[in-house]
Chain A
């Protein structure tokens, strides 16, 4: 083990250009042994590019990389692995067709020869037990059968498994984006134990609380540069947001919501979850923002989808009195039409209005698109570009534009801000509140407790049932957690 305080990795003057875009402008960055470095910044600030360099998947155009003081002239992924540097990438990188044990094998060339299957299965199972006690994942499960949260758990656990190569530094890029509070807590506690054992970790997260609470030192990036690097204790939430160049703090949101509480408008949605046994039901009026909280996957999405279905065809237990639009959570699989332009992706929910005779009027489609580009700030030179020319956060804005640009009076949001940077989030929050002020109703399922600040009323879910109904003034994080874990049915 290297002596505590020594640099594991150091980058000096790292620069990277992608065509005309400068992704990194001379960054100095280092991680010491026994240190957890939090890395924050908006999407496009250069965090991912920097981490790709640390992991060896990208080579800097200029600058030096040194590992434990020794300059690495030809740094690469195999070299990084030899030196004990691993990365859990933001995009899930399991092979969906392989079992969990086989996926573990992919990262360990040493797992070979007779009995490798047994060894791989034991290796990954032991690590899952260590990080996520009670995880209920079997090494023989095929990756595609697992929920997105469980896949993320496997991927994190896999990065911490050790065979022949040493393990010194693990980069966790948004490791909790698909985890609920409970498993995220397990992971972060493990990271602390890992760091206490003299190893190092880089933690990238859009959930600033996670970084503030778990990192020893925080590095803030903006426009391809490191703009601040200081002990975590020296930061608080506001200083972080200011340094990142984010919009106003969340207190403003809370204040605005509190004063804005609308007088009760006409009833829009009355819904009872299928598994609800008592009389609890979700009620939403015009102009209200309703939060759906609780641990991930406890029936919130099911209820949103049931409401969506009930808008088209009457269903017992659910009344919906206005048109509905859904903003999907998994935008790649449920939200985006990958072959289409940005404008077409926005217009698809409003085809009836865009029609001219039998055909879609390109002019009206373009008008709609341009209006929302300006209103919601979609950053692109041309709305006719393919949707994939946008960054993740901007893609999510397109999905919001699709819903808000439609005739829907009720907007269902299925945890849509997952993995989106805080700047985009704050812009969307403003928009949601503004639209609510105009009488739209929002049903908002979120796994990030901070987002519930935007809501007038919050329903907490557990095992497919509503277990608590909290008004604006009684809403606290403790209450939500209590209800999520409590025995009350």
Chain B
């Protein structure tokens, strides 16, 4: 039997408050890692080509950062629910084709198609939850569906972005380049929605401990549908932003985005399972990838043939650094 005692507060667990302070510091370090790697890439660019660090230089280098950031955020939502979306790339391509054709010629139909595609994402979430299917399989299948639809809409490259979209993406605010403002806005909005609101907690909790959530009376079907619908929504935004920049579409235009978006989430401090994601980190990860993808490597005079491999090497280095820091948390 355990007698009651009135002794002074005792440290009960193996982890005292000072040790937890160390854990919190390690986590801070890990959350700073994305920013740190972005800073390193920027430093390298500044060193290789000082003129690139300018209003014009950033506008040019970060040209494609907005759609990548949006696609990364899209991927982050499914990852928050312990799923993976292998179709986001071809989905962005599909949205691009719709944007460059229907949305310009018959805006109402275009809007309906895009809303419908978000609905399809929501249904996929429901299907994956209800039938307990692996999301990798379902979304891999869907990637071919989106690709096929894109080719049906736009068999050969062409089309034209709506004018309002073109002028939006060509917006030139004073002092700070548009892509940077857009990235800040995306990060702020999603951070607030997912990390600060009371329902955002439920969404992240569904990735952390789904059983606990359903015991507390929350619907896991609903959280999964919401997460997938959000992925669809940000996929649509990504596709539209992409076409606003490139002005015309191609059925294959988004194919690289699948792996880019996953890498962006992980680079930004997210983890594949456990509901640990960071919207700000994901946007920074996307910016890092956008910069490391071609500007940095071009300035380093790495021939285009080797750029993909070099890109992979950068990814491995950053992720390895993350693992080293995570290990200190144990």
Contact = CB atoms under 8 A, between A and B. Distances in A.
A212 B8 CA distance: 26
Contact of B217 (A77, A95, A135, A449): A77
A180 interface: yes
A451 to B, nearest CB: 13
A227 to B, nearest CB: 23
Given A78-B217, A185-B4, A481-B5, A179 B12 contact: yes
A95 B7 contact: no
Interface string A186-223: 10110000000000000000010110110000000000
Contact of B20 (A55, A145, A186, A209): A145
Interface-central residue, B10, B23, B208, B215, by most chain A CB under 10 Å = B10
A113 B212 CA distance: 23
Given A95-B212, A145-B15, A188-B4, A106 B9 contact: no
Given A112-B198, A145-B20, A210-B2, A95 B209 contact: yes
A134 B208 contact: no
A133 interface: yes
B10 A182 contact: yes
A183 B7 CA distance: 11
Contact of A96 (B17, B20, B208): B208
B89 interface: no
Nearest to B211: A93
Given A107-B216, A142-B27, A189-B4, A98 B205 contact: yes
B15 A106 contact: no
A95 B27 contact: no
Contact of A136 (B9, B209, B274): B9
Interface-central residue, B15, B24, B207, B211, by most chain A CB under 10 Å = B15
Nearest to A134: B9
Contact of A150 (B3, B9, B13, B216): B13
A149 B2 contact: no
A105 B5 CA distance: 32
B323 interface: no
Given A146-B20, A148-B13, A182-B10, A106 B212 contact: yes
A188 B14 CA distance: 22
Interface residues of A, number: 62
Contacts of B202: 106
Contact of A185 (B2, B199, B209, B276): B2
A477 B5 CA distance: 13
Interface stretch (A294-302, A351-359, A436-444): A294-302
B133 interface: no
Contacts of B217: 77-78, 81, 109
A76 B13 CA distance: 35
Interface string B186-208: 00000000001011011011011
B209 A182 contact: no
Contact of A295 (B1, B12, B211): B12
A182 B198 contact: no
Nearest to A57: B215
B213 interface: yes
Given A111-B198, A136-B9, A209 B208 contact: no
Contacts of B16: 136
B218 interface: yes
Interface residues of B, number: 41
Nearest to A91: B211
Contacts of B8: 134
B209 to A, nearest CB: 4
B8 to A, nearest CB: 7
Contacts of A113: 198
A98 B201 contact: yes
B20 A94 contact: no
Contacts of B17: 136
B297 to A, nearest CB: 35
A31 to B, nearest CB: 20
Interface-central residue, B8, B13, B202, B275, by most chain A CB under 10 Å = B13
Contacts of A189: 4
A368 to B, nearest CB: 33
Interface-central residue, B16, B199, B215, by most chain A CB under 10 Å = B215
B1 A213 contact: yes
23 contacts: A96-B274, A98-B204, A105-B198, A111-B198, A134-B9, A141-B20, A145-B27, A146-B15, A147-B14, A150-B15, A176-B2, A181-B3, A182-B7, A183-B12, A184-B2, A185-B3, A185-B4, A209-B1, A210-B2, A213-B1, A296-B12, A481-B3, A485-B5
Q: Ordered nearest first, which 7 A-B pairs have the shortest CB separation?
A: A134-B9, A147-B13, A209-B1, A95-B208, A93-B212, A97-B208, A297-B14
Interface of B: 1-5, 7-17, 20, 23-24, 27, 196, 198-199, 201-202, 204-205, 207-209, 211-218, 274-276
Interface of A: 55, 57, 77-78, 81, 87, 89, 91, 93-98, 102-103, 105-107, 109, 111-113, 116-117, 133-136, 141-142, 145-150, 153, 176, 179-186, 188-189, 207, 209-210, 212-213, 295-297, 301, 449, 477, 481, 485
Given A112-B198, A184-B2, A481-B3, 7 more contacts: A98-B275, A106-B205, A133-B9, A176-B2, A179-B12, A182-B10, A295-B12
